[in-house]
Structures are given as C-alpha cells and as structure tokens.
Amino acid sequence: WQSMIIEANERLDNSEELSFGYAIMDINADGVKELLFYREDNVLLAIFTIKDEKAYLLSTFWPKHSGVILSSGDILITSSGGAQDFEYTIYEIDILEDSGLQEKLTFGCSEGKYFKWTDSCYTEIRFNDVTELIQIYSDIIVLPNSRTGGSSLS
C-alpha cells in the first residue's frame, strides 16, 4: 500500500484532476465480482476478490510491477529489474491457490537471455518470440474513466 500512497500523492501534486478510479466487475466470469483500484491509463493499483465470504487482496502494484486486465479475464503483470531484465506474467484468478492467483505463463528477458516459463518448463526463446507473445497478450479491458468516479460493471 505504501507504493500506492506515494504514487497517489505524486499524481495529485502533478495534476489538477483526480486520476484514479475504481470498478466492481467479474473479471473472469466466475460469478464473483472483484474490486479494482486503477489509474486513468488502465494500470491497476490493487485487486480484491471475495474468499471465504471476506474481501481478499489478490495483488498490489507499483511502478516496476504493474498490471492490467486482459480481455480473456486474465491478469497481465509486468515487472522490471532493470534495462535488460523484464518479465510478463499471465495469471488467472484461482481462490483455491494461497495467493489467489494461478500463474499460466511467464516470458521475458533475464541477463540478456529471452525465455518462456510455462507448466514448470523453462525454455529459451528468441526476441521475435517475445515480441509475438506481447502482441498476443495486448488486448486489455478499458476500465471506466476514473474522472467520472467509480463504476459497477456486470
């Protein structure tokens, strides 16, 4: 939460208008609505769901660890460890998992080597493969305009 508070303060200091919003929506069509806090550019700040009839924090985000909702209902989290090191990880919501998220695919670059990690299998790939995967997972859900306040979507 500390990262979210710092970012919120920085954005409010640099902006004449509030640039955050929230939405309540069933991301993955499982019948359970999630609560999303996000920036106006659709980048997530936090996601909550319901687990054992209580609010359950799935993830929080910060500048080098950001997330968006894909049209598939999955969550794409991008992480950066520096100029050469980056990861894209696709998660699905799975409240049976301890974290509430089930990793489906990770790809990126570490120490100059491009990779894909899926089903406990690490594979070295080419830069063009990474570019292709980024294109495949680029269809994000556009969240309601944060300047209009919250929205409850079905």
Q: Environment class of residue 61 by beta-carbon count within 10 Å: exposed (0-12), middle (13-18) or buried (19+)?
A: buried
Task: Show the beta-strand stretches assigned E in 1-154.
Answer: 20-25, 34-39, 44-51, 54-60, 65-69, 75-80, 86-93, 101-110, 113-118, 121-124, 151-152
- Structure tokens that stand for 115 in this block: 């990779």
Going by pLDDT thresholds of 50, 70 and 90, the confidence category of residue 154 is very low
Residue 4 has pLDDT above 60, yes or no: no
| Residue of 51 and 10 predicted with greater confidence | 51
| CB-based contact 69:140 (threshold 8 Å) | yes
Question: Using one digit for the tens of pLDDT, what is the confidence trace for 107-147?
Answer: 999 999 999 999 889 999 999 999 999 999 988 887 776 44
Question: Using one digit for the tens of pLDDT, what is the confidence trace for 89-115?
Answer: 999 988 777 778 899 999 999 999 999
Beta-carbon contacts of residue 96 (< 8 Å; ≥ 6 apart): none
Helix (H, G, I), strand (E, B) or coil at 144: coil
Residue 12 has pLDDT above 60, yes or no: no
Segment 33-51 mean pLDDT: 86
Residue 66 has pLDDT above 60, yes or no: yes
Beta carbons within 10 angstroms of residue 77's beta carbon: 20
Q: What is the pLDDT of residue 151?
A: 45
Average pLDDT, the chain: 82
Residue 148 has pLDDT above 50, yes or no: no
137 alpha carbon, distance to own chain's centre: 12
Long-range contacts at 112-116 (CB < 8 A, ≥ 24 apart): 112/84
- Structure tokens that stand for 119 in this block: 């089903």
Segment 79-85 mean pLDDT: 83
